[in-house]
Amino acid sequence: MSTVTVTADDGGSFSAYLAMPATTPAPAVVVIQEIFGVNRVMRDLTDAYAAQGYIAVCPDLFWRIEPGIDITDQSQAEWDKAFELFGKFDVDLGVQDLITTLGHARALDGCSGKAGTVGYCLGGKLAYLMATRSDADANVSFYGVGLDAMIGEADRIAKPYLSHVAENDGFVPKEAQATFIPVLDSNAHATVHVYAGQDHAFARVGGQHYHEGSADLANGRTAEFFRTHLA
């Protein structure tokens, strides 16, 4: 595990946490952060994807606001900070930084050239946008927020896309789900799984809504999805 520096297309640079697999060449996976920055949860996830055989990279997407954010979901002050950052975050620039990170990952020594993304919460929204705006080979959203507002881009999805949706997501109400799920279901490249009874961040280990069974199911589906489309 190490930190690499990625040069942004519009100037400046940002850091990314990098975890390498045991053997290369290997495909790459860009792991997209929640609103808490590149924290222990995201680093552990990145390490886990590396253990599955991927070059895993998790970029600091809040660098334009405040670089190096590393907070948790365990206090109200941290939640307040996270939502402050979320409110200031420029989604379009974030997607551009992810496209740049994707290119950086593909150029790393040992990368097979195949590369996908997986994102959580805010990252789930960005993974959807990577499916609509980038040439990533496969993309996965865990409980992505705000997909209903951007579902007009769904017809651009031309590579495999997987979306994990929490049925009782406090940040993605059922009215919003009713807007985007049928559109994704109608796209031959997209697959949607709804997790009955689950709330937002059901796969975040240590989180308030963590549910081991649903997390294991979603993680297993994701592992199979990447084996199928990035091998």
Catalytic residues, by residue number, are 169, 200
Tokens of 214: 């649903």
One-letter amino acid for residue 131 of the chain: A
Specify whether the CB–CB gap between 145 and 171 falls below 8 A. Answer: yes
Burial of 7 (0-12, 13-18, 19+ CB in 10 A): exposed
Compute the distance between CA of residue 155 and CA of residue 222 in angstroms, rounded to an integer.
22
Closest C-alpha to 200, from 29, 33, 32, 34: 34
Which residue, among 72, 61, 65, has the nearest Cα to 96 in the 3D structure? 61
